[in-house]
Amino acid sequence: MILTYLEAIRQGLWEEMERDPNVFLLGEDIGVYGGAFKVTEGFLERFGERRVVDTPISESAIVGAAIGASLLGLRPVAEMQFSDFITCAYDQIVNFAAKCRYRWGAAVPIVVRAPSGGGIHGGPFHSQNPEALFTHTPGLKILAPATARDAKGLIKAAIRDNDPVLFFEHKALYRRIKEEVPEGDYTVPIGKAAFVRPGRDISVITYGSMVHAALEAAEQLDREGVSLEILDLRTLQPLDDAAIFASVRKTSKVIVLHEATRSGGVGGEVASRITEHCFEDLDGPVVRIAAPDCPVPFSPPLEEAFLPNAAKIAEKARWLAAY
C-alpha cells in the first residue's frame, strides 16, 4: 500500500497498540486534538483515555511517568510535541532511562517520539535536530528514519525493544514522502543501515531528511559522470560500522552529511571511525556537510541558506571527485 511518512508512523503505532495491551501513548494534545501533526488522530476514540493520555505541558513529567510505567510492565510511547523541548526531559532520559539496566538490570521499554528538523519555517525553537545530544549517552538507542517503510518498521521495532529508544521523525517528511509500504506485520532491525543507492565514486553517509537531498544530488551528478553511493544510517546509536566501512572501502571517497549543526554532530563520530578503521582505503579527505553552527533562522530565505541541500552536496561532491 502507498503511505505517507506520517501515516506509516500512525499505522505502526496503531498496530502495536492492537497487538499489545501494555502499549499506551502519552503526551501533549495527543488525545482529543489528535496530536500537533495529527499522527494520533482517532486513537482516543479507539483505545480510550487510559491508553491515550493527554498530559500537562511538562516534558520531564511525561518521560518520568513513562519510565515509571515501564518499570511496572507497561510499554509507553511518549511524544515530545517538538523535539526541541526534549531537553526539558534530558535528566529523566540520560540519568534514569539510560542507566537503569546498568545500575540494577531493569528494562526500561519506553519510546520517546521526537518530531524534529527544519524546512517548515518554524524558527529556532521548533526546527532543531538534537539527536547528537543523546548519541553520547550509553544505554539509549537512537533512530532517525528517512522513508515511510522504515518509519513504520522502526517504530514497531522500537516499541518491542526492551531498552529506551529515542525516535526522531522529520517533520518536513510527514506529508512530503509517499511510497509503497509492505502490508502486514513487519519490523526493521535496529542497528542496521540501508544502502538506498549503489554507486562507484563517492559514498554519502547520511540519515533522515538528508537522504532525499543526497538522492536529488545523485541524480544531478549522474549526468556529469559522477556516481554517488548513498548509505542511510537509520540507527544513530548503535552505528552500523560494518556497512559504513564496506561502503568506504568500495568507493574510497566519502561525504558525511546531516541536517544538524556541524560541531559535535553525528557526522564527526562517523568521520572519526572512518579515519581510524579505513584510513588506508581513502583517496581523499573525509568531507562533512552540515548546517552551520548557529540557531535555525525563522526567515525562509535565511533558513534555505542555513540548511544543506542538493546543490551544496553536488558542489562538494564535484570537488571531492576531482581531488
Q: Hey, how many other C-beta atoms are within 10 angstroms of the C-beta on 71?
A: 15
**Euclidean distance between CA atoms 201 and 37, whole angstroms:** 39
Catalytic center residues: 126
For residues 244 and 277, is the Cβ–Cβ distance under 8 A?
no
pLDDT, one tens digit per residue, over 129-160 is 999 999 999 999 999 999 999 999 999 999 99
- The predicted structure's pLDDT at residue 299: 96
Fold type of domain 194-321: Rossmann fold (3.40.50)
- The predicted structure's pLDDT at residue 206: 98
**Euclidean distance between CA atoms 77 and 323, whole angstroms:** 47
Three-class DSSP category at 53:
strand
What residues contact residue 246 under an 8 Å CB cut-off, 6+ apart?
Answer: none
pLDDT, one tens digit per residue, over 47-83 is 999 999 999 999 999 999 999 999 999 999 999 999 9
pLDDT, one tens digit per residue, over 235-294 is 999 999 999 999 999 999 999 999 999 999 999 999 999 999 999 999 999 999 999 999
Tell me which residue of 288, 284, 218, 221 sits closest to 251, measured CA to CA: 284
- The predicted structure's pLDDT at residue 95: 97
Sketch the domain layout of the chain as residue ranges.
2-180, 194-321
Q: Which amino acid is present at 153?
A: G
- The predicted structure's pLDDT at residue 128: 97
What residues contact residue 90 under an 8 Å CB cut-off, 6+ apart?
Answer: 133
For residues 271 and 181, is the Cβ–Cβ distance under 8 A?
no
pLDDT, one tens digit per residue, over 165-193 is 999 999 999 999 999 999 889 999 999 99
| Average pLDDT along the chain | 97
**Residue 34: which region, alpha, beta or left (left: phi > 0; alpha: psi -120 to 50)?**
left
- The predicted structure's pLDDT at residue 19: 97
Average pLDDT, integer, range 100-106:
96
CA distance to 44, 66, 111, per residue, from 39 (Å): 12, 19, 15
For residues 228 and 202, is the Cβ–Cβ distance under 8 A?
yes
Give me the sign of the Cα torsion angle 298, 301, 307, 309. Answer: positive
Q: Do domains 2-180 and 194-321 have the same CATH topology?
A: yes
Average pLDDT, integer, range 115-138:
96
2-180 CATH choice from 2.40.50.140, 3.40.50.150, 3.40.50.970, 3.30.300.30:
3.40.50.970
pTM for the complete prediction? 0.97
> pLDDT tier at 224 (50, 70, 90 boundaries)?
very high
Tell me which residue of 177, 167, 226 sits closest to 202, measured CA to CA: 226
Q: Output phi, psi for 287, to 5 deg.
A: -100, 130
- The predicted structure's pLDDT at residue 144: 98
- The predicted structure's pLDDT at residue 180: 95
Average pLDDT, integer, range 197-223:
98
**Euclidean distance between CA atoms 98 and 93, whole angstroms:** 6
pLDDT, one tens digit per residue, over 27-44 is 999 999 999 999 999 999
